[in-house]
Structure formats: structure tokens, C-alpha cells
A and B are shown apart, each in its own frame.
Chain A
Amino acid sequence: MVQEILRVRDVKKYFGGVMAVDGASFSVEEQTIRGLIGANGAGKTTLFNLITGYYKLDSGKIFFEGERVDQLPTFKKARIGMVRTFQLTKVLSRMTVMENLLLGHKMQSGEQIHNIFFRQKMVADEEAGIVEKALEKLEFFDLIHMKDDYAGALSGGQKRLLEMARALMTDPKMLLLDEPFAGVNPTLAKKLVRRIKELKDMGMTFLIIEHDIPLITEVSDTLSFMNHGRIILEGPPEDVKHDPRVLDAYLGGGS
């Protein structure tokens, strides 16, 4: 049976008088890859920010695994398994690649001061486990040779990989990727598509904003098309891709 993991209902967001998201509704099923496309300014990133708690919604509801989550702050959403990456990559420049990853693991005992002094063994053992896990992720994303470099020294594409690896360190149920292929060279992008599909097979759910139509068609199970702050079309990628409204938005038909 297909289980719904994320449900967005009639979500609205205004900036001043401008309606950025105008009653968007959609659902994502567990262990699927959902692509979200639309012209610049259609409201995709705003919708992302609303789902992940960076913005507060003006109206509407968001459910994650059946629970209403629209009032939760970002960090709590991350804790329940909803983790995002950023359109403009945000790596922690003056920390090493390894440190970036280690940060990702959730609820570490060493993040509480009393444990650092009174449960040193526990913290050290846990840290060793986290390092192990980080090495696996670095291996998976071909970043292992960079592990001791400052994250700020990575290339644009590597920063995207680092961000995804770091997000995976939280053991998320659902990953929200904002333009994961932007600035990534074609070979790496192909590889990234494979990685995403592998992760899906391991049980992960994805919501991906992307402008690269061939890539997003290849990676998604379902494609949603957003226009003027609403999801106006949803379906198998090949169908959505050829819909006149989509062609219009991308080929500059105007509206």
C-alpha cells in the first residue's frame, strides 16, 4: 500500500501585497521521488521554505506522517525527519568537510555540556560511530579524498554533494533538495541521479526542485508543475513535460 508522507493543503504566503504561494496543495507518497518544476518566480523555493519552516505560512496546513507540522520551527522538523538542502549551497566554509558531516548526526550526546564532562566515554564512543558513518557517506559521494579540507575550498558541484551527504547524516525520512543539479557537471549529475535512486530504493522519499527538465524527468516518479503560486499539474514526468502549459512557461509563451 502506498503511504502518504507529506501533505500540503491550500498553503498561502504573501510578501507585502504580493502572493508568492497562492493556495498550493499536493501530497508526496513514501519512498517516491517527486519533482517540482515551474518558471522562475512561480513560488517553488518559497513553498520549500514554508514546508521546512523557514517562513511562517499565512494560511493552510502541512502534515508530515499524518501529524500537523506547519507550526513547528525548522530544527524540530529536521528532528522528525524532514531535512532540506539550499538552492545557494550553504557549506560551513571554515570547518572541514569531515566536520560538516559530523555536525549532521542528530541528537548527539556530546552536544550537551554535562555529557562532555561527566560522560566522556559515552561521548567518545558515539563520536567514533559518527565518524564511521560520515566516512561511509563521503565514500558514497566521492568526497573521501577531501575529508580534511576546508569545505569552503570545494568546487560548486562538490559543495552540493557535501550538502546532500550532510543532510543524509541526520537519517532523514524525507529529503527536500533545492536545485541539486545546478552547477554540477553532466557526469556528476548523472551520478547524482543514480545516487538519489539508490537512496530511494533504501527507503528515502525526495522532493526536488529543479530547472533541468531532462534530469528531473529522469529522476522523478511524479512531476508537479507550479505556476503563479499553485500546483496546477501533476502526473508522470513524460506527460507533464509535454503539457502545453509547461511548454509555455519554459519556452516563454507569457501568460
Chain B
Amino acid sequence: MIDYLVAISIIVGIYAIFSIGLNLEWGFTGLINFGHVGFLAIGAYTTVLMNQSGAPLWLSMASAVVLAGFFGLLVGIPTLRLRKDYLAIVTIGFSEIVRLFLLNEEWLTRGPMGLFGFDRPFEAMIPFDYNYFLFILVFGSLAVIYLLVEKLVRSPWGRVLKSIREDEDVPAALGKDVFLYKIQALMIGSAIAGLAGAFLAFNMQYISPRNFIPMETFYAWIIVVLGGSARNKGTILGAILVQSFYTGTRYLQDYVPLASHQMGALRVIVIGVLLVLLMMYKPQGLLGRKEELTLGQ
């Protein structure tokens, strides 16, 4: 039972890290990134491919984070000067390009076969169940990421991000280089997603393009909106709830007369209904601030 809880918690932790990256972009800066999963994929594949070609694990992970951030820069440069909705379109296209690249460039990624057989941090040195160690590692990283991001958003830098979210004409009129801040937010959010990707690979010990479908991006959105945008604590709570829901419904499988694919579809329906109810009765999210919603622009 404990083993099982640990296994679930690791997934919660990974999604929490992944979603905190999105929260920085959407919750604090107002950037609509519909391709967050692309950066998760870059993180996972970079870690695994570099490690398999002989690089030490720490270097592989560091490269994964840096490369994911760098792709954030590449996506941001042409889009962040444009209106908000362009970023949404371009990012969703970007994440699909990443996935299709991974699916088709078999010489590099083995395509649909996926990748397995790679190191995990300190695996040889852990005398007990490795999952316990991974649990500590993921939650240690989550704590660090949480604290770093909180420090950032409470600083004058975070104040500029929030002002961009509210109305980017204002910071521009006050002498802030809005573009620069949007790029920074997107790069940091993407780098965080890259780190989550490395942990995802360690946890599954096998990665394939199927792990990086657009739906993953929207799970992160559900987590952020459910918890309350611009509340990192809410994001963590959202990750716990969404994952519990998934695990819980898997248990229900034994008790309802539905095939597993029907059950899968039902889950999505229920999530959709719950989100509609949330928007009707608690639109600010679970930990969001109600006052903020009642303010006119």
C-alpha cells in the first residue's frame, strides 16, 4: 500500500513541477501556452538520448533543462511580439511538431518503439526500493522549484510579469521592455517543464512519443485552473486532486460494467463536467482569490 502511494505521489510531484512552469507563464504573465507538453518531451528525450550516448546523468539533465528553455526562446521570439492568441496557435503547433519529429526520426529516437535502458540518478547506490529515492528526489526538486518561483513572482520582476498579464500597454508606458519579460517567463516555464520531463523518464523507465500527446498540456491547464491561476500552492493541490481522480477511477473499474476504453472516455467527461461546475461556482479556482474576479478591467 505504501509502495503504491509512493508511486502515485511521484506522478503527482512530476505533474506539479510541470504545471508550476505553466502557472508562471499563464497565471502570472498571461501567456497562453497550449504546447507545454512539447517542452516536457524535449526534457525527457534529451535526458535519455544524452545519457544513452555516454554523457553523465547530471549533464544530461542539465542539458535537458537548458535545451527546453532554449526552445522556449525559439518559440517566443517570433510570437511574443504578436497578439496573445498567436502564441496559443504557434505553441500547439510546436508541441505537435516535436511529437511528430520524435515519432518519425527513428534513427535518433527509435520512433514509436520508444526508448528504454538508461541510468537513473544514483540507482546503483540505493540499497532500498528505488521509488522511495525517486520520491525524495522529485519532491525535493518540487520544493526547490516552488521556492524559486515564489521568490521570483514576489520580486519586482514578478510585479512586471503581473502587469503584463493585466495590460501590457502599462508596463510599456512605464519603460519596461515587455517582450524581454515575456521571453524570460516562457523560457523559465519551459525549462521547468524540461526538468519534469527528465523525472518523467526516470519514473517510467521507458519513453515514447505516445507520452507526449497534446492532452498532457491540457492536464496541466486543468491543474492550474483548478487550483487557481497565479497560486503555486493551488497548482500543487490541483496536481494532487487530478491524479487522485485518475487513480480513484482506475479502482472503480472493477465495480462498473464498462470496458476500459469506455471508462477512459467517461473520465474525460467527468473531468469536463467538474470543470464546468468549478467555473460556475468557484471560477477563481480552489485557492484563487475571489475579489480578483469581480474587478472590472
Contact = CB atoms under 8 A, between A and B. Distances in A.
Q: Do A and B bind each other?
A: yes
Interface of A: 52, 54, 73-76, 78-79, 83-86, 90-95, 99, 102-104, 106-113, 116-117, 123, 127, 150, 152-153, 166-167, 169-170
Contact of B175 (A90, A99, A106): A106
16 contacts: A75-B177, A78-B174, A90-B170, A92-B166, A92-B170, A93-B292, A94-B162, A103-B171, A110-B157, A111-B159, A112-B157, A113-B152, A127-B156, A150-B291, A153-B291, A167-B173
Nearest to B293: A94
Interface in B164-223: 165-167, 169-178, 184
* Most chain B beta-carbon neighbours within 10 Å: one of A84, A104, A117: A104
A81 to B, nearest CB: 9
B156 A123 contact: yes
Closest 10 CB pairs of A and B: A152-B295, A110-B156, A78-B175, A92-B166, A93-B295, A79-B175, A74-B172, A94-B292, A116-B155, A108-B156
Q: Which of B175, B295, B297 has the largest number of chain A CB atoms within 10 A?
A: B175
A166 B177 CA distance: 17
Nearest to A93: B295
Given A102-B156, A103-B160, 19 more contacts: A74-B173, A75-B178, A78-B174, A86-B173, A90-B169, A90-B170, A92-B167, A94-B165, A99-B159, A103-B159, A104-B174, A106-B174, A110-B155, A110-B156, A110-B157, A116-B156, A150-B291, A150-B292, A152-B295
Given A93-B296, A93-B297, A152-B296, A75 B170 contact: no
A84 B166 contact: no
B163 interface: yes
Contacts of B292: 93-94, 150
Contacts of B152: 113, 116
Majority SS at the chain B contact face? helix
Given A113-B157, A153-B295, A107 B175 contact: yes
B110 interface: no
A120 to B, nearest CB: 9
Nearest to B167: A90
A104 B173 CA distance: 9
Contact of A116 (B151, B165, B176): B151
B174 A83 contact: yes
B25 to A, nearest CB: 15
Interface string B125-163: 000000000000000000000000001100111011011
A90 to B, nearest CB: 5
Contacts of A84: 173
A220 to B, nearest CB: 23
Contact of B162 (A78, A92, A110, A127): A92
Contacts of B184: 113
Contacts of B297: 93, 152
Contacts of A83: 173-175
A75 B291 CA distance: 31
B133 to A, nearest CB: 28
A78 B166 contact: no
A54 B169 CA distance: 9
A79 B291 CA distance: 33
Nearest to B175: A78
Contacts of B177: 75
B163 A103 contact: yes
A65 B156 CA distance: 30
Given A123-B155, A152-B295, A166 B166 contact: no
A127 B158 CA distance: 13
Nearest to A166: B174
Contacts of A116: 151-152, 155-157
A167 B157 CA distance: 18
B173 A78 contact: yes
B65 to A, nearest CB: 15
Contacts of A107: 175
A166 B166 CA distance: 15
A15 B232 CA distance: 44
A84 B174 CA distance: 8
Given A92-B167, A93-B297, A112-B157, A170 B175 contact: yes
A169 B159 CA distance: 15
Nearest to B165: A94
